[in-house]
Amino acid sequence: MSDQRHDTRFDRFVDSYAERTKGMRVSAVRALFAVANRPEIVSLAGGMPNIKDLPLESIASSMGQMVAENGTQVMQYGSGQGELQLREQILDVMALEGIQAHPDDIVITAGSQQGLDLVTRIFCDPGDVILAESPSYVGALGTFLSYQAEVVHVAGDDDGLDPEALRETSRRLKAEGKRIKFLYTIPNYSNPSGVTQPLERRRQVLEVCEAEQILLVEDNPYGLLSLDADPVPAMRSLDQNVIYLGSFSKTFAPGFRVGWVLAPHAVREKLVLAQESATLCPPVFSQFAVSNYLSNHDWKHQITVFKDMYRERRDAMLEELAEHMPDGATWTKPAGGFFVWVTLPEGIDSQAMLPRGVDARVAFVPGAAFYADGGGARNVRLSYCFPTADRIRLGVQRFADVIRNELEVMSIFGVHVSPTHLRRAPGPGPNLS
């Protein structure tokens, strides 16, 4: 192994990269990881599920047995569509949200992230438009941009996507001669907003999609993590033309990288071809491991264990926000999932505030990461999935203090002091860029 790290600043291939790499962005969340993982910092930034309550010993023993008895099958290449046994079990998972389907309409993917990639790959040419909620999942935006699609955000409210805004946006784009390929939505406990579309809203959105001939892609990794009431029926359960993305990352464990796409038959065929060219077949060992877990463990009970844990953490975050946040800040009240979306008092820029947050030993994700069009400057995503309730309380108190300090600075200087303002300051000084 060479002990010299090659420096990418002198990249001799810089003129050779494909155009599509220009849309690839460093994930804001990943960039934050290095600091956020320091023990003195309370990280309300990452979206890692807390899987320490899984019955690890019994999972280890049944997986050990699986390898001993079926190793030559579970460690072999498999089908491009994914293992039938797992696809049949996925039907039981989706039935909990009202979806009825056939195992042949499912393609297994390496997490729902790969589902997003394959769907974009088969539908989008450069310049095609993808409609997305406002705000939307940073990982999806990254995928869309890497295929050189244009992301147009559609306004929403506390009930998610606004159907009238969807209709108006669709008509405007069509009048401009743009090609809309699909609408991407996270109807349950959205990442990052925590907002859920009620049943009536889902129907209205589907009606607009039908009228405007827009394909709908429903991404639902959090649907079974409902913390207050039963899950709302999935959009796919209301309309068979919806492309549905599912995942075991939040209801079991993300490390297996197993998700799936449920799609109308013709689309499913294209997805399998795309999957074969991407990976030959989705990870076989992981699929059998997940299937083994579903067969040998009470996975529905495990979801209730996760829900009790996340509920305690969500409640801790909401209580603390209510007690400590200054006037002028608002935030969503998620009924499930992992995230709260904060709107800061007028004039505060969340990106500029981040270094001061880290200084005060709290990490969060500035809202701009969740927009493809420069929005989100006044927003922050807070996550309650990973730290304990006590750490969450401490983190929110620190977060509220940071905002209060920003307000104080604004009241003294009249503007929010961002690194951009500091850079523009005349005279010599440290290079703050």
Footprint on this chain of ligand PLP (rule: CB under 6 A): 47, 111-113, 137, 139, 186, 191, 219, 221, 247, 249, 254, 259
Q: Which tokens go with 327?
A: 């006037």
Q: Which string of DSSP letters, residue by residue, matches 121-180?
A: HHH--TT-EEEEESS--HHHHHHHHHTTPEEEEE-EETTEE-HHHHHHHHHHHHHTT--E
For ligand PLP, give the closer residue by CB, 288 or 339.
Answer: 339
- Shortest Cβ distance from residue 112 to ligand PLP (Å)? 4
- Shortest Cβ distance from residue 82 to ligand PLP (Å)? 14
Residue, CB closest to ligand PLP: 111
For ligand PLP, give the closer residue by CB, 137 or 331.
Answer: 137
- Shortest Cβ distance from residue 116 to ligand PLP (Å)? 7
For ligand PLP, give the closer residue by CB, 262 or 403.
Answer: 262
For ligand PLP, give the closer residue by CB, 23 or 111.
Answer: 111
Q: What is the H or E stretch that residue 365 is in?
A: strand 365-366
- Shortest Cβ distance from residue 266 to ligand PLP (Å)? 24
Angle, CA of 219, 223 and 226, to the nearest 5°: 155
307: left (phi over 0), alpha (psi -120 to 50) or beta: alpha
Q: How far apart are the first and last CA of the chain?
A: 34
For ligand PLP, give the closer residue by CB, 261 or 284.
Answer: 261
- Shortest Cβ distance from residue 424 to ligand PLP (Å)? 37
- The whole-angstrom separation of Cα 218 and Cα 239 is 11
- Shortest Cβ distance from residue 245 to ligand PLP (Å)? 7
Place of tokens 């499913």: 268
- The whole-angstrom separation of Cα 245 and Cα 223 is 11
Q: Which tokens go with 225?
A: 């993590």
For ligand PLP, give the closer residue by CB, 137 or 399.
Answer: 137
- The whole-angstrom separation of Cα 399 and Cα 380 is 10
Q: Are the C-beta atoms of residues 227 and 311 closer than 8 Å to each other?
A: yes
- Shortest Cβ distance from residue 398 to ligand PLP (Å)? 24
67: left (phi over 0), alpha (psi -120 to 50) or beta: alpha
Among candidate residues 285, 212, 324, 260, the one with its CA nearest the CA of residue 114: 260
- Which amino acid does the sequence have at 284? V
For ligand PLP, give the closer residue by CB, 186 or 243.
Answer: 186
Structure letter (DSSP) for residue 336: B
- Shortest Cβ distance from residue 250 to ligand PLP (Å)? 8
CA 401 to chain CA mean position, Å:
28
For ligand PLP, give the closer residue by CB, 167 or 193.
Answer: 193
